[in-house]
């Protein structure tokens, strides 16, 4: 019988080494990032709820040009306000938007590099396969030693979990640009960067926005899991309900997550459709 491979010991040793030599830097960055997250959340909480709801409904109308989503925003977020879940809802919204922004800042450049260079793509794609098949709970374990318990660890774990669609769909969108258009741009003397910024990215924009939409949905799916390491918001309310076996409280918080998810999903779907129409 073959001896058991001490894989867990190797991983523990690697994490201990990294914590010993890197945790000072990551903890300092955590304090800075926590300040940004708190400021962003306070900015969203600054307007009174009724004004925030009207502004969000106005954005929904501007993006979709249809009344359906605006009415849903008014009724849905009005219900959250009525249920006393306004602050947790805004906290969840801030966490999701922050994680999505970081995922886009990481994912889009990585996707561009993967599309431009086959060698990069051969390295990146297997890593994404591992990231997308790894259970979400696993990402919480290394985040705590490096960033501590709280919102920063929740955002970091959420970014790692939700960034693969942004990378994959950015790469896919650029690869799907018709080859005859690429050859035409080369015939007119366009450089590689000109071709990227003036042809490939505009045509790939609907696919990239669809990747951002999937990133948002994955970030929202981490809301409850991230509550286990100190993230507040609607996920925290669900986690409290689980601990207290309070079904009604859990239903209200879960309904809040659904309302936020549907709102963001419809907004970014409409953005993707508008991007597709402009490119057409």
Q: Which residues contact 58 (CB under 8 A, 6 or more apart)?
A: 70
The pLDDT of residue 99 is above 60? yes
Q: Are 142 and 26 in contact (CB under 8 A)?
A: no
Instruction: Return the pLDDT at 1.
Output: 64
Q: Which two tokens stand for residue 43?
A: 């900015």
- Concatenated DSSP letters of 103-151: HHHHHHHHHHHHHH-HHHHHHHHHHHHHHHHS-GGGGHHHHHHHH-SSH
- Distance between terminal CA atoms of the chain? 63
How high is the mean pLDDT of the chain? 85
Kindly report the pTM of this predicted structure. 0.83
- Mind listing the pLDDT tens digit for each residue in 135-158? 777 777 777 777 777 788 888 888
What are the C-alpha distances in Å from 258 to residues 72, 148, 235? 12, 28, 11
Instruction: Report all structural domains of the chain as residue ranges with CATH numbers, in order of start.
Output: 7-46+84-277 (1.10.3720.10)
Q: Are 259 and 271 in contact (CB under 8 A)?
A: no
Backbone angles phi, psi at 150, to 5 degrees: 145, -165
- Mind listing the pLDDT tens digit for each residue in 204-251? 888 888 888 888 888 888 877 787 777 778 888 888 888 888 889 889
Residue among 258, 272, 167, 154 nearest 213 (CA):
272
Q: How many residues does the chain have?
A: 280
Give the 3-state secondary structure of residue 176. coil
């Amino acid at each position: 019988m073959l001896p058991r491979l001490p894989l867990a010991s190797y991983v523990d040793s690697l994490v201990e080494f990294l914590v010993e030599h890197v945790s000072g830097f990551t903890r300092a960055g955590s304090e800075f990032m926590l300040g940004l997250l708190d400021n962003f959340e306070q900015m969203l909480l600054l307007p009174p709820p009724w004004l925030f709801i009207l502004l969000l409904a106005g954005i929904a109308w501007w993006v979709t040009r249809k009344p359906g989503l605006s009415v849903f925003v008014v009724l849905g977020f009005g219900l959250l306000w009525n249920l006393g879940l306004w602050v947790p809802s805004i906290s969840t919204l801030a966490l999701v938007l922050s994680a999505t922004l970081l995922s886009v800042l990481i994912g889009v450049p990585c996707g561009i590099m993967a599309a431009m260079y086959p060698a990069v793509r051969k390295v990146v794609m297997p890593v994404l396969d591992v990231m997308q098949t790894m259970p979400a709970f696993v990402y919480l374990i290394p985040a705590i030693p490096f960033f501590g318990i709280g919102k920063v660890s929740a955002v970091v774990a959420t970014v790692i979990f939700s960034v693969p669609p942004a990378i994959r769909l950015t790469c896919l969108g650029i690869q799907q640009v018709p080859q005859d258009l690429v050859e035409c741009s080369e015939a007119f003397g366009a450089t590689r960067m000109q071709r990227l910024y003036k042809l490939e990215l505009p045509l790939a924009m609907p696919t990239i926005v669809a990747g951002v939409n999937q990133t948002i949905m994955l970030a929202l799916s981490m809301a409850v899991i991230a509550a286990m390491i100190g993230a507040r918001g609607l996920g925290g309310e669900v986690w409290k309900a689980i601990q207290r076996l309070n079904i009604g409280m859990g239903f209200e918080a879960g309904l809040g997550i659904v309302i936020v998810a549907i709102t963001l999903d419809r907004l970014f779907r409409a953005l993707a459709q508008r991007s597709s129409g402009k490119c057409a």
